[in-house]
Amino acid sequence: MKKLVAIVLALMLVLPVFATGEEYAGTITIGIFEPASGDNGPGGKQETLGMYYAHSLVNTVDLNGKLYKIELVEVDNQTSADKAPAAAQTLVSRNVNVVLGSYGSGASMAGSPIFEAAGIPAIGVSCTNPAVTLGSPLYWRICYTDDFQGDVLANFAYNDLGISTAYTLNMLGEDYGAGLVNYFTKAFEKLGGSVVADTFPEGTSDFSAYLQNAANFGSGVIFSPSSTVYASLLLGQAASMKLEVPFVAGDTWASSVILQAVQNTDTKVYFSDFYDENNKDATEISKEFVTGFKAWLNASPQNLTNNGGNDIIAAVSALGYDAYMTAIEAIKKTETGSAAEIAAALPGVEYEGVTGKIVFDENGDAKKDIAYIKIADTEKLDYIFVTTTSIDTEE
Amino acid sequence: MEWLERFFPYILAGLSVGGQYALIAIGYTMVYGILRLINFAHGDIFTVAGFIMVYMSATMPLYISIPLTIILTVLLGFTVERVAYKPLREAPRMSIMISAIGMSYLLQNLMWYVTGGLAKQYPVIPFISDSIVVWVTTTKIVTLVTPVLTIVLVILLQQLIHHTKLGMAMRAVSRDFETAKLMGIQINSVISATFIIGSFLAAVGSLLYFSNYPTVTPTVGAMPGLKAFVAAVFGGIGSIPGAVIGALIIGVSENLIKALGYSTFSDAFTFALLIFILLAKPTGLFGEKIIDKV
């Protein structure tokens, strides 16, 4: 009797392999390396939503007449550079063929050596720090980088807002903020502006002293690329102090958390973004994505919650969608969809995405040169599009 | 006069932050005074109070959700003591300390689980969340209310300790646990009362704190909790006025350091201060003298 049970159990383990074998030639696993908790949890979840939406549209690929199934494996890198390596290791041991992520440059850089050692290619989605792809042959990226973004924002503050003094504030030891502040400062000082820099330690919730510093210094703009958790505290306190200085920040602030924080206040918040859902000149692909993704979000309460409780499309969701589709394009160029083949195929990928055309340069960065500058609407939960900027970075 | 005008906003913010630290610090110091236990879960009880308020206010009006939050927080503090500390009363001090650390992580992870790690926006409590102009600066009314309310609560607490039967029992238990027990004092109810008072103050502290900094995450209580603990040690652990004065000093000096442009070092300063005080006066500012009985 015991033997019989053992045989049945063993068969149950083996049979599913045969079962899939009939339908599919194999399975290609895409790893999602994103924060679902920690400071970047809200953003990471929105990015992941874009990937799941893309997966709901395309979940098989045909390679030489054989149908392969695409599977998603998700890990939570917890926003933190010390926990990201363990999360990356989990993906490696699950034998993923390609990795997407992460939101947040710090986690991407921490996971990078582990993917590289295992020979798994990774596609950065919204990690903008140049160091992510620099010197990492297996890391690609589909968004613009901080040197471009810092330049754009400095130009916007100096030329469009007409401001010559800036106060920068970022979290100590955070790669994203420190990088962006550095590029912003360089560009802003080159234009002729002056900058006072300040940093706050992790876990700060009282920002009144920093805001007071900015006011005392007489700065015309506060440049504070930080995670949305700190941003909402910062904005709330600025509003209660009736501080009239406008805020400028990077792509991270394109989040409904920020919109909620500035409702019914007089605080002006400008930020650069990868994508604009209300863009009138949008391509067909982009329009299709907007309607399709909204319908998909509204169909599931869980998805809506993960998106922050509304169906405003975050730029990172659009990027998540593009990252998945870019991976699929690369897989289509391979024989069996193995990690090594995908890595070899990625440099040659050309894909017309929702956020623009994706072609990689020699560093592995997508050649993107447009940033959308937006302002947060203080009356209803929405963004107002201000301008698109592209800068000739050639010296 | 000019420097006062420059530093006034910082000092005001510092007093407010200090008041919030004080309300948490009292919880630490009272439990220590009676049980000789550092209740590591106290900072997390403070955070849980924040989340309870977020969830309660989503469905109920404020005049119900505020008292309910306080009651549930007190209940939580009481339960934590009954479940994690009472069974270990006869165990070595180290075991109960480990139990406290375990409780702290349990609460934190429960919060991760329930909220999914997303930051929640704290509800706006009318009146205290309004802006007000004070001399040269604009701030929320809660900034002014916090230190005042803290001092009123502390005076009430001192009355309770020095002029009621329960207070007398508390003092007796804190003086000599074993003898108090022999004299017929209900040890367990005195300890429960301590936890109830501590949790009540943590709930009030959380109302004030999150009205000022309206973002609640599972780890948001860690830093204020730690600083409140520093304040309690600084003022002399076991002494309530000591905890309050310690907390106010830490709150103000932290903000002044930022005002001077050394914001990077503001936390380092807080902890360096703790080391100096312990070196110079190991029992803290108002600490009881240790008498070795032979």
CA contacts within 13 A on the Cβ side of A263 = 10
pTM as predicted: 0.79
Starting at the earlier edge strand, list the strands of the sheet with A26-34.
A60-63, A66-76, A26-34, A98-100, A122-124, A139-141
B59 close contact with A: CB closer than 8 A: no
pLDDT band at B117 (very low <50, low <70, confident <90, very high): low
Which ranges constitute the DSSP H helices of chain A?
Answer: 2-23, 41-57, 84-93, 105-117, 146-155, 175-191, 208-217, 228-240, 256-262, 284-298, 301-306, 315-332, 339-345
**Per-residue model confidence (pLDDT) at position A394:** 41
B9 close contact with A: CB closer than 8 A: yes
Q: Residue A241 is nearest to which of B118, B139, B222, comparing CB atoms?
A: B139
DSSP lists the bridge partners of residue B140 as B131
Question: How far is A38 from chain B, CA to nearest CA, in Å?
Answer: 6
- Average pLDDT of chain B is 88
Tell me the two tokens of residue A334. 């391979």
**Per-residue model confidence (pLDDT) at position A386:** 81
Give the phi and the psi of residue A380 in degrees, each rounded to 5. -130, 160
Beta strands in chain B (DSSP E): 120-121, 131-134, 137-140, 215-216
Residues B131, A240: C-beta atoms closer than 8 Å: yes
A155 close contact with B: CB closer than 8 A: no
Tell me the two tokens of residue A119. 């020979």
What is the spatial distance between Cα A9 and Cα B170, in angstroms, rounded to a whole number? 63
Residues 6+ apart with CB under 8 A from A22: none
- In order of their start, the domains of chain A are 18-144+283-364 (3.40.50.2300), 147-273+372-389 (3.40.50.2300)
Residues A37, B117: C-beta atoms closer than 8 Å: yes
What is the spatial distance between Cα A261 and Cα A29, in angstroms, rounded to a whole number? 38
**Per-residue model confidence (pLDDT) at position A282:** 77
Test the B interface: residue of A205, A230, A243 with most B CBs within 10 Å: A205
DSSP state for residue A136 in the 8-state scheme: -
A213 close contact with B: CB closer than 8 A: yes
**pLDDT for B101 beyond 90:** yes
A381 close contact with B: CB closer than 8 A: no
Tell me the two tokens of residue A161. 């807002």
Q: Model confidence over B67-76: pLDDT tens digits? A: 999 999 999 9
What is the spatial distance between Cα A41 and Cα A107, in angstroms, rounded to a whole number? 12
Q: Average pLDDT of B80-92?
A: 92
What is the spatial distance between Cα B240 and Cα A163, in angstroms, rounded to a whole number? 50
**pLDDT for B237 beyond 90:** no
Per-residue pLDDT of chain A (395 residues; tens, 9 = 90+): 677 777 776 666 665 555 544 578 889 999 999 998 877 888 899 999 999 999 999 999 999 888 999 999 999 998 888 889 999 999 999 999 999 988 988 899 999 999 999 999 999 999 988 889 988 999 999 999 988 999 999 999 999 999 999 999 999 888 889 989 999 999 999 999 999 999 998 878 888 889 988 988 889 999 999 888 889 889 988 988 888 899 999 988 887 778 888 888 888 999 998 888 877 777 888 889 999 999 999 999 888 888 877 888 888 999 999 999 999 999 999 998 999 999 999 999 999 989 888 999 988 999 888 888 999 888 877 778 887 777 654 43
Question: By CA distance, what is B116's nearest residue in A?
Answer: A37
Residues B213, A36: C-beta atoms closer than 8 Å: no
Q: What is the residue extent of each domain of chain B?
A: 24-221
**pLDDT for B284 beyond 60:** yes
A302 close contact with B: CB closer than 8 A: no
All residues of chain A having their beta carbon less than 8 Å from the beta carbon of residue B137 are: 212, 241
Q: Residues A328-359, buried b or exposed e (16+ Cβ, 10 A)?
A: bbbbeebeebbbebbbebbeebebebbbbebe
Tell me the two tokens of residue A41. 């949890």
**E strand or H helix that includes residue B29:** helix B2-35
Tell me the two tokens of residue A280. 């009138």
**E strand or H helix that includes residue B234:** helix B222-234
What is the spatial distance between Cα B43 and Cα B224, in angstroms, rounded to a whole number? 7
A209 close contact with B: CB closer than 8 A: yes
Question: How far is A171 from chain B, CA to nearest CA, in Å?
Answer: 10
All residues of chain A having their beta carbon less than 8 Å from the beta carbon of residue B215 are: 205, 229, 232-233, 236
